[in-house]
Amino acid sequence: MKTHNNFDERFEFTGNAKTISLVGIVLGVIGIAFGFILGGDHIQRVYSNLLLMGYFFVCVCIAGVFFSAYNYVAQAGWSASLIRIPQAFAKVLPIASVILILIITAGLLHTHTVEEHGKKEVVPYLYAHWAAHGITIPGSENFDAIIYGKKGFLNIPFFYAVLIVLLGTYSFLGIKMAKFSEAEDTEGGMANYDKIFKYACIFLTIFGFTFPIFAFGVIMSLEAHWFSTMFGWYNLAAMHVSGLAVITLVIIYLQKRGNFSWLNENHLHDMGKLIFGFSIFWTYVWFAQFFLTWYANMPEESVYFYKRWEPEYKWWFWLNIVINFVTPVLALMSRDAKRLRNRLTWVCIILIAGHWLDYYLMIMPGTVGEHRGFFIEEVFIFAGFAGLFIYAVLSKIAKAPSLVPKKHPFLQESLHHHR
C-alpha cells in the first residue's frame, strides 16, 4: 500500500479537458441560436432544454454540498481525502443558481400565442399553466379555478422568493463549509472542523425539508393541475445519483491526470456502493409514485402518466427505468465490479444520460407536448452545459489551496482506507 503522498501537488486545468469544455460551451451557444433562428416550436424546445439543463446543473452542484454535509455529519473517515471534489461543486453552485434563475426569468418574460380549446392565448414559454395573464383573475376568459386555488404558492413573487432563498441558502452553507475546510489546513486544531459539522447539520435540516419544495416549484409546476407528494423525493433521489456519478467521473479523470494518487479502489468501491444503493432508492420512489397512481386510476392524478404513455413518449418512459435501474443492478451488483475503473466510468456515463432522460420526461410533455425526436437543441444545449460544468468545476479545483484537507482529523483513516 502506498503510504507516501505529495499533498502539495496542484491540478493544472490545461490540455484536452479545457479545450473540450470550451468547445462544448460554443456548441451550446450555437444550439440556442439555432433554435431562435428557426423560430416557431423550436423556441419552445430551446427554453425547455435550457430549463432541463439549468436544473440538472444546479442539482449536480447541490449534490456536492449534500455529499460533503452528510459525510461530515456521519463523521465518515473514508471520504476525507476526496472531499475537495464535492467542495468544488459547492463553489460552482452560486453560478449555476444564477443561470437557472436567468433561464426561468427569460422563459416567463418571453411570450407567444397559442391556440387551445378554440381560443388564442398569449402565454409565457415556461410555466404557462399558471403564469399566463388573467389565469387567477375571476371573470377573465383565461380564469382557471384550479390554479386560483393554488395561487398562494403559484404566483411569481412567491415563486422567485422560494428560488432565491433556497438556492441562496444552499450556496451560502456550501461555500462556508468549503472555506472552513481550507482554513483548517492553515490554522489546524478542531475549531474549523467543529464549524463544518455545525453548518453541515444546519444544511441537512434545511435541505431535507425544502428540496421537495424547490422541485415542486421548478419542475412539478410546469403541469400545475397535477401534483404528487412523492415528486420531491423522486427528484432528490435523481439529484443524488446524478451527483454521485459526476463526482466519481471527476475522481477517475483526475487520477488519470496523475492527481489524487492517494485514492484507491476502496474509495471507488464506496462510491460504487452509494451509486448502486441510491439507484435502488430512486427505483423504489419511481415505482411507488407510478404504481399508486396507476392502481388508483384517478383522472386528476393519472393525467401526468397518460401523457407519458402516448406512443411518442412510451418507449422513452420504459427505457428510463431500464437505464437507471437495470444498468446499475447488472453492472454493479458484485463487490469486484464496484472496484473497476472502466466499469464505473461507463456506468456513470450511462446513469448521467439516464437521468437526463428522466428530467426530459418530467419537463417535455408539459412544455413541448408531442415528442418529435431529438434535435440539435437537445444535443448542443447538453454539450454547452456539460462544457460549462467541466470548465467551472475544474477551474475551482485548480484554484484550491490544496487537493487534500491536510489537517482533517480523519485524513489518516481515509489514506489507509481498505475493504
- 182-239 residue pLDDT tens: 999 989 889 999 999 999 999 999 999 999 999 999 999 999 988 888 999 999 999 9
Confidence of residue 301 (pLDDT cuts 50, 70, 90): confident
Rounded to whole angstroms, how far apart are CA atoms 275 and 162?
Answer: 29
Q: Which amino acid, one-letter code, is at 243?
A: G
Residue 106 included in any domain: yes
The predicted structure's pLDDT at residue 4:
61
Q: Which is nearest to 35 in space by CA: 27, 176, 195?
A: 27
Q: Which amino acid, one-letter code, is at 94?
A: P
The predicted structure's pLDDT at residue 419:
63
Residue 8 included in any domain: no
pLDDT at 150 over 50: yes
pLDDT at 382 over 90: yes
Average pLDDT (341-345) is 94
Pairing of strands 111-116, 119-124: antiparallel
Confidence of residue 292 (pLDDT cuts 50, 70, 90): confident
Residue 40 grid cell: 416557431
Q: Over pLDDT 70: what percentage of the chain?
A: 98
Cβ proximity of 75 and 153 under 8 Å: no
Residue 321 included in any domain: yes
The tens digit of pLDDT for each residue in 24-59 reads 999 999 999 999 999 888 999 999 999 999 999 999
Lowest mean pLDDT among 119-123, 179-183, 232-236, 346-350: 119-123
Average pLDDT (287-304) is 87
**Side-chain half-sphere CA neighbours of 85 within 13 A:** 24
Q: Which amino acid, one-letter code, is at 416?
A: H
Rounded to whole angstroms, how far apart are CA atoms 186 and 190?
Answer: 12
Rounded to whole angstroms, how far apart are CA atoms 228 and 219?
Answer: 12
Residue 394 grid cell: 475544474
What is the Cα 295 distance to its own chain's centre?
30
Which structural domain range is residue 99 located in?
24-395
Residue 13 included in any domain: no
The tens digit of pLDDT for each residue in 312-327 reads 899 999 999 999 999 9
Residue 109 included in any domain: yes
**Which residue has cell 453560478?**
95
Rounded to whole angstroms, how far apart are CA atoms 286 and 357?
Answer: 14
Q: Is the model more confident about 213 or about 138? A: 213
Residue 148 grid cell: 386560483
What are the backbone angles phi and psi of residue 113, rounded to the nearest 5°?
A: -100, 130
Cβ proximity of 270 and 264 under 8 Å: no
> What number of other Cβ atoms are within 10 A of residue 186's Cβ?
11
Residue 135 included in any domain: yes
Cβ proximity of 283 and 275 under 8 Å: no
Residue 294 included in any domain: yes
> What number of other Cβ atoms are within 10 A of residue 48's Cβ?
25
Q: Which amino acid, one-letter code, is at 109?
A: L
The predicted structure's pLDDT at residue 60:
97
Residue 217 grid cell: 416549484
Number of domains in the chain: 1
Mean pLDDT of the residues in the chain: 92
pLDDT at 119 over 50: yes
Per-residue CA distances from 372 to 44, 174, 310, 368, 375 (Å): 13, 40, 12, 10, 9
pLDDT at 1 over 50: no
Q: Is 150 helix (H, G, I), strand (E, B) or coil?
A: coil
This prediction's pTM: 0.94
Cβ proximity of 328 and 362 under 8 Å: no
Assign residue 147 a region (left: φ > 0; alpha: ψ between -120 and 50; beta: otherwise). alpha
Rounded to whole angstroms, how far apart are CA atoms 177 and 175?
Answer: 5
Per-residue CA distances from 331 to 106, 348, 379 (Å): 41, 11, 26
Tell me how long the chain is: 419
What string of DSSP letters covers 52-101? HHHHHHHHHHHHHHHHHHHHHHTT-STTGGGTHHHHHHHHHHHHHHHHHH
**Which residue has cell 437557472?**
100
Average pLDDT (160-170) is 97
The predicted structure's pLDDT at residue 373:
74
Q: Which is nearest to 91 in space by CA: 392, 388, 404, 398?
A: 392
Residue 301 included in any domain: yes
pLDDT at 409 over 70: yes
